[in-house]
Amino acid sequence: MKERAQYIHIEGMDLAGKTTATHNFINRTGREWDVRRNSIIPDNPMYLLADSLRRADAYDAEVLGNLYVAALMGDIRTFEWPDNDTIQDSTILLRSIAFHTVKGTPRVVEVLQELAPKHPKFDASFVFTADIETRLRRLQSRMDNQPEQISPEDLLVRDKPEMFMAMEAALIDLARNSFHSVIIDTSTLTPDAVVQKMFDELPHLDKK
Amino acid sequence: MKNTDGLTALVEGFKDGGVDVVTNFPGYYSHKVFSQLGGEVTSVNEKIAYEIAWGASLTGKRSLTTFKNVGLSDAADPFLNSHLVGTNGGMIVLVFDDVDVEGSQSRQDSRNYFDFFGGLWLEPYSVNSAYELAYKSFKWSEKFSLPVVIRVTNQLIYAQGGFKRLKKVKGNKSFLKNNEQFVVHPINSKYQRKVLAQKNKGIEKFVESLYKSHPSDARNILVGCNIREEKKFGLKNIFRVFTYPLPSKSLSPLLSKSIKIFEQGTPFVLEKVNALKSKSIEGFTGIIPDNSNGYIVSKNYEKLFRALTKVKNTVAIGDLGEYTKDTLDSINGCLCFGSSISVGLGYTLASNKSVFSIIGDAAYLHSGKNVIPEVLKRGRSANIIIISNGGSQGTGGQEIPGDLYYQPKVVEIYKKKYENTSCTEFEDVLKTMNKSKKVSVLYLEMETNK
């Protein structure tokens, strides 16, 4: 009989070291993992539409927020536990709630908060964070080496640090309340130490 | 126990009910209870006494704070906020309402504070009920995670009688990490108001269950201890009220008949009973704005909080200011302005865990400063971080008069300029403070625009 797949959640505001940690984590486990981004359903059409409209800056925060709410409702209603080991890289729930909490669109926040208890839970949940100095260093390095990968969200830490920190505080609060997330500060940790911290929280995980 | 007085009955009830920490500022017999319970160090004022008791409750221990009615006004800020943030271990507030003005400057009725946030108040009517309510109050406080107030008026102090002793018990709660509940802050207020409303509903139901054996044909409602009036008017057919909220359902059958209400103080119950009799009127007390966008996180203190997470097995008690909320949600408890050092002291009185108290300069000069002599007198350690940013930054930077830098000689002092200090250097100094097991103060000097 096939064992139940592992479903691990990784979250964090931009430049926290999430992508690197996910990559290193997969390498260290020595096996294949599916990675889902934001939506917990692969190819959720409402999420894809919301995301493309957001990138096109087509509507205001409230309209887009409601579209993400619809995508999340669809996620929750049609979710099935994944067949393969899966890493959930961010969730619509946490990213949207963090953004709208600080943006000042309380009606969107209210609906999201109502949806939070219905959201599927994970085998483990991690939120990555880093201090502002470290994030600014990472941003500079990305600007120098991979400028094409810079998104407007990446610049928030530089241009509006207090808004960025407020969003992170909201995200961490909700992650702790909804998913009992473990918070990992990557500011002074080596990549190996970050993965080791994750492993410490996953004693039953098969590792290389 | 035969032939004793109301005060002794209360003391024995608290002892048998498992009191661990007791605090006091003297006034109308409260200091007698304090000394009979083994209290030695009197607090600097009622606000501090209250905050210490709340800090002890946070650890899961059972605490009692006592003062007179005028003192409750001094302790009003932490008292009211403690209803919002709740308690962990049973916490009792024993208030002596000197309504006969035997030793006070005026006649004040503490019950008016009940109308702010509700909660559970008890008012013993005899020596036996004093023992029983004192004994049970810790359990009830833990049941609802709220402070329970015991109001005592003059007649109970001199009442004579016996009480039936109950089996000695101890509390069995431990520290509960729940920052959303225990930190008073705008972002938590919606949640805290909701929780308080649920608790108050539960208390209303619970209170009714305490009155099952009372007569339904009573003509006299006696609230608390009215021995003098009972004797003078030869009262019979009595319904004894000993709780706030009132047992509205149990009282309602009496309200269609002619009744008399006897109470000590202002006509507090009379007004409530009259309100029960009047027709229901729909009230409107305003829309509470949604402040879910109230996350204001200053980037000024990031290095400090990140360093604090590296000091293991500690608890962080915060104060009200732009540093109450950080991205890592580091603060485990915050009761009211100027309270972090006293709450921290309460915590260390009840637990071996080390505490960091983080306080702004305005809050420190407002009331935090007064606690350091009490920490020293009690021979406890404390790790205090004073954020020196030139005044009350949250309200525009007003300078608060006072000497921020004076400390008794035995206090270990550290100073760091925030801008020039790295996270690792903060970590080092915090670890040094924590190791020293003394009273250590770190002045964190911030750059200001002045």
Residue A1 tokens read as 């009989």
Section A10-24 average pLDDT: 94
Contact B382, B353 (CB under 8 A): no
Q: Indicate the residue type of A8.
A: I
Choosing among A171, A180, A185, which should be mutated to test the B contact, i.e. which has the most B CBs within 10 A?
A: A185
Q: Is A79 helix (H, G, I), strand (E, B) or coil?
A: coil
What's the average model confidence in pLDDT over A91-103?
Answer: 92
Q: Which residues of A touch B187 (CB under 8 A)?
A: 173
pLDDT above 90 coverage of chain A, percent:
77
A110-153 pLDDT tens trace:
899 999 999 999 999 999 999 999 999 999 999 999 888 888 88
User: Which of B327, B329, B420, B428 is the best mutation test for A, with the most CBs of A within 10 A?
Assistant: B327
- Inter-chain CB proximity A165 and B299 less than 8 Å: yes
Distance from CA of A148 to the nearest CA of B (A): 28
Inter-chain contact B302–A176, Cβ cutoff 8 Å? Answer: no
Nearest-angstrom CA–CA distance, B381 and B361: 21
Confidence of residue A181 (pLDDT cuts 50, 70, 90): very high
Look up the pTM and report it.
Answer: 0.91
Collapsing DSSP states into helix, strand and coil, what is residue A9?
strand
Contact check, Cβ <8 Å, A110/B292: yes
CB contact under 8 A, A101 and B180: no
Q: Are the C-beta atoms of B306 and A185 separated by less than 8 Å?
A: yes
How far is B418 from B426, CA to CA, in rounded Å?
9
B180, closest residue in chain A (CA to CA)? A173
CB pairs under 8 A between A and B: 62
Closest CB to B328: pick one of A106, A161, A172.
A172
Are the Cβ atoms of B423 and A131 closer than 8 angstroms?
Answer: yes
Phi-psi region of B286 (alpha: psi -120 to 50; beta: other; left: phi over 0): left
B299–A109 CB contact, under 8 Å: no
Which residue did the predictor score with more confidence, A89 or B217? Answer: A89
**Touching check for A131 and chain B: CB below 8 Å?**
yes
How many other C-beta atoms lie within 10 A of the C-beta of residue B335?
Answer: 29
Q: 3-state secondary structure string, B49-77?
A: HHHHHHHHHHCCCCEEEEEEHHHHHHCHH
Contacts of B303 in chain A (CB under 8 A): 131
Q: Residue type at B240?
A: R
What local confidence, expressed as pLDDT, does residue A102 receive?
85
User: CA-CA distance, A106 to A127, in Å (whole number)?
Assistant: 24
Question: Are B180 and A161 in contact (CB < 8 Å)?
Answer: no
Looking at the DSSP assignment, which residues form a beta bridge with residue A48?
none
Phi-psi region of B379 (alpha: psi -120 to 50; beta: other; left: phi over 0): left
Of A108, A85, A82, A84, give the one whose Cα is nearest residue A95: A108
Closest chain A C-alpha to B362 CA, distance in angstroms? 23
What is the rounded CA–CA span in Å between residue A49 and residue B438?
A: 60
Point out the residue among B292, B327, B329 whose CB comes nearest to the CB of A106.
B292
pLDDT per position as a tens digit, A20-65:
999 999 999 998 999 999 999 998 999 999 999 998 888 999 999 9
Is residue B405 classed exposed, middle or buried when 0-12, 13-18 and 19+ CB atoms within 10 A define those classes? Answer: exposed
Q: pLDDT at position A206, please?
A: 66
Nearest CA in chain A to B305: A131
Task: Catalogue all structural domains in chain B, each as residue range(s) with its CATH number.
Answer: 4-209 (3.40.50.970), 220-284 (no CATH), 296-445 (3.40.50.970)
Does residue B420 belong to the interface with chain A, where contact is any CB pair within 8 Å? no
- Tell me if chain B has a CB within 8 Å of the CB of A167: yes
Contact: A185, B302; criterion CB under 8 Å = no
Angle at B47 between CA B38 and CA B317, to 5 degrees: 95
What are the CA-CA distances from residue B3 to residues A140, B11, B127 (Å)?
81, 15, 9
B326 touches chain A (CB under 8 A): yes
How many other CB atoms are there within 10 angstroms of residue A63's CB atom?
A: 13
Q: What pLDDT, on the 0 to 100 scale, is given for residue B278? A: 73
d(CA B1, CA B31): 23
Mean pLDDT over the full length of chain A: 92
| Cross-sheet strand order for the sheet of B91-97 | B21-24, B63-68, B91-97, B148-153, B120-122, B243-244
Report chain B (450 residues): mean pLDDT per 10 consecutive residues. 91 98 96 97 97 98 97 97 98 96 88 97 97 98 98 95 96 90 91 96 97 84 95 93 95 90 96 83 75 74 92 93 88 96 97 94 95 96 95 85 93 95 95 95 84
Q: Cα torsion at B103, B26, B93, B87 (round to 10°)? A: 160
State the pLDDT at residue B292.
56
Nearest to B13 by CA among B128, B131, B126, B161: B131
From first CA to last CA, the distance across chain B in angstroms is: 66
Taking contacts as CB-CB distances below 8 angstroms, the residues of chain A near B326 are: 169
- In terms of CA atoms, which chain B residue is nearest residue A131? B302
Distance from CA of B431 to the nearest CA of A (A): 17
- In chain A, the residue whose alpha carbon lies closest to the alpha carbon of B327 is A169
* Residue in B189, B195, B295 to test binding to A, most A beta-carbons within 10 Å: B295
Contact A177 B423 (CB under 8 A): no
